[in-house]
């Protein structure tokens, strides 16, 4: 397996990520042709994915952000989700795409989906860069998936460990000795 400049094993290179995001953008463009879209990034991890995905869709799109917390300073979810930053604009009657870095247990996206549906969007879809179905605790699926992965701890391209490694351009495996 290839390694990056820090000696970390690369799971998906920046080139693979860019190509897959272009493909996802084309799918979203096709599915919502002629419509307006509100892309909602889940901070902080989804910021790089949202930025690239927004440039890859060829429709009238705006974006907003929410911030939630379900992880502490370790690599385990607390199981309780807190909304830290809400939407800036109403989504009623609009096509909405939740953009997430990784769909893991499903707890966060189930929570957000429930909240957003209460605002009566015209449609609500989910795009995730990574899907880890083996860890799912809630029965939720994404409409657009970049890559499906096994139960691995990954960092880079927005994903972190205790707020570190978000800036890595590739998606790498977290070394077990670093956790």
CATH topology of domain 14-151: Rossmann fold (3.40.50)
Per residue in 78-112, pLDDT (tens digit) is 568 888 888 889 999 999 999 999 999 999 999 99
Phi, psi at residue 59, to the nearest 5°? -140, 170
CA distance 54 to 58: 8
pLDDT at 91: 95
Give the active site residues.
104
Cα 82–chain centre separation:
17
CA distance 76 to 52: 28
pLDDT band at 178 (very low <50, low <70, confident <90, very high): low
> What ranges do the domains of the chain cover?
14-151
Percent of the chain's residues with pLDDT above 70: 93
Between 3 and 172, where is the model more confident?
172
């Amino acid at each position: 397996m290839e390694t990056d400049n820090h000696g970390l094993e690369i799971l998906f290179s920046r080139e693979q990520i860019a190509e897959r995001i272009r493909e996802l953008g084309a799918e979203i463009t096709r599915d919502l042709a002629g419509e307006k879209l509100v892309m909602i990034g889940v901070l902080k991890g989804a910021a790089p994915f949202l930025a690239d995905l927004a440039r890859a869709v060829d429709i009238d799109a705006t974006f907003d952000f929410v911030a939630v917390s379900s992880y502490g300073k370790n690599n385990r979810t607390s199981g309780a989700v807190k909304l830290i930053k809400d939407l800036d604009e109403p989504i009623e009657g609009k096509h909405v795409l939740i953009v997430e870095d990784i769909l893991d247990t499903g707890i966060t996206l189930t929570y957000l989906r429930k909240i957003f549906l209460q605002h009566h969007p015209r449609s609500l879809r989910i795009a995730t860069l990574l899907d880890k179905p083996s860890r799912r605790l809630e029965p939720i699926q994404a409409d657009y998936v970049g890559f499906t992965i096994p139960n691995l701890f990954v960092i880079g391209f927005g994903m972190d460990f205790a707020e570190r490694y978000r800036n890595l351009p590739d998606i790498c495996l977290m070394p077990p000795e670093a956790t």
